[in-house]
């Protein structure tokens, strides 16, 4: 496999920066390892995050909606919760862009919690705490580390349905954590759990904003899930023209 010139340039820089042999990096890339894991970082907005397998690599679609969301979060918002945080990209960028926010982040994988905590230090975001928890757990809402009500709820939950999971490129399937990708048979399992949390008494503040990334053809279904619990929703389009983000509001 011949590498695109631009990838080669990035690898060359990574090799020079960390004093690593270039041919080893190129070989890893040729074997299909994601560029971001080889380099070890991924820029996300103005931040530069550490990434390592198998924690989900932050995607450009996510970067786009998170920057848009930062502009829409009211100045009165104080507490944010991110579900399934991975590298911590969403809460860290929001806390960076909205200085009044402090963020809690959870992930089922302790390795993600470690990475997100490391990234907070790397980006000098102090108003941040990540901890291990499974938000599908029926008792999640009473987890000792949580301190509701939250003003902002974000998530890029696993949303790939079973049939599409099997079709994923090797670059994704062989390197990134299935727990960050596989959204159950329908791909929608996690949205149901998030909708239940969103309408739970005093879990969110009365004018909270909820922002969720969705798969390429899920906007309508996810919108319907949140409307069925009487939340107002809208869909945001990503730069490639896909409806990528469902925004749900508790207020009127």
Task: Please name the helix (run of DSSP H) or strand (run of DSSP E) that holds residue 52, with its range, or none.
Answer: none
Asked if 84 interacts with other proteins (CB under 8 A), we say no
* Minimum gap (Å) between residue 39 Cβ and other proteins: 8
Cross-strand pairs, 234: 247
Find the binder of other proteins among 26, 44, 77, 222 (CB under 8 A). Answer: 44
Query: Which range touches other proteins (CB under 8 A), out of 16-24, 36-44, 72-80, 137-145?
Result: 36-44
Strands 79-83 and 102-107: parallel
Single out the residue of 17, 18, 31, 46 in contact with other proteins (rule: CB under 8 A): 46
CA separation for the pair 36, 15 (Å, rounded): 13
- When asked if residue 62 is in the footprint of other proteins (CB under 8 A), the reply is yes
- 42 vs 244: CA distance, rounded Å: 21
- Cβ nearer to other proteins, comparing 60 with 74: 60
> Residue 176 interacts with other proteins (CB under 8 A)?
yes
Residues 6+ apart with CB under 8 A from 100: 75, 76, 77, 78
DSSP 58: P
Residue 29 or 104: the one with the smaller Cβ distance to other proteins is: 29
Residue the block writes with tokens 């960390």 = 18
Query: Which residues from 206-235 bind other proteins, rule CB under 8 A?
Result: 213-216
Residue among 108, 25, 20, 14 nearest 3 (CA) = 25
- How far apart are CB 145 and other proteins at their closest, in Å? 26
Out of 68, 118, 164, 189, which residue is the one contacting other proteins (CB under 8 A)?
Answer: 164
Q: Which of residues 16-35 bind other proteins (CB under 8 A)?
A: 34-35
Distances from the Cα of 26 to the Cα of 29, 37, 51, 196, angstroms: 5, 12, 18, 46
By the criterion CB under 8 A, which residues form the site for other proteins? 5-7, 9-10, 34-36, 39, 42-46, 56-57, 59-64, 67, 156, 158-160, 164, 168-169, 171-172, 175-176, 180-181, 213-216, 238-240, 242, 244
């Amino acid at each position: 496999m011949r590498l695109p010139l631009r990838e080669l340039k990035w690898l060359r820089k990574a090799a020079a920066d960390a004093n690593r042999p270039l041919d080893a990096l190129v070989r890893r890339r040729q074997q299909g390892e994601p560029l971001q894991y080889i380099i070890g970082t991924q820029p996300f907005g103005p931040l530069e995050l550490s990434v390592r397998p198998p924690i989900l690599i932050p995607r450009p679609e996510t970067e786009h909606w998170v920057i848009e969301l930062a502009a829409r979060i009211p100045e009165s918002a104080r507490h944010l919760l991110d579900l399934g945080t991975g590298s911590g990209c969403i809460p860290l960028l929001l806390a960076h862009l909205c200085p009044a926010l402090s963020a809690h982040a959870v992930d089922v994988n302790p390795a993600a919690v470690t990475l997100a905590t490391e990234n907070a230090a790397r980006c000098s975001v102090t108003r941040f705490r990540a901890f291990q928890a499974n938000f599908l757990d029926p008792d999640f809402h009473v987890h000792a580390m949580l301190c509701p009500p939250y003003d902002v709820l974000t998530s890029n939950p696993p949303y790939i349905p079973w049939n599409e999971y099997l079709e994923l490129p090797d670059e994704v399937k062989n390197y990134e954590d299935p727990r960050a990708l596989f959204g159950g048979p329908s791909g929608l399992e996690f949205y149901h759990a998030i909708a239940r949390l969103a309408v739970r008494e005093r879990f969110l503040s009365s004018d909270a904003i909820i922002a969720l990334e969705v798969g390429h053809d899920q906007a309508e279904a996810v919108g319907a899930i949140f409307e069925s619990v009487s939340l107002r929703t809208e869909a945001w389009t990503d730069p490639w023209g896909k409806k990528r983000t469902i925004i749900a509001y508790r207020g009127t």
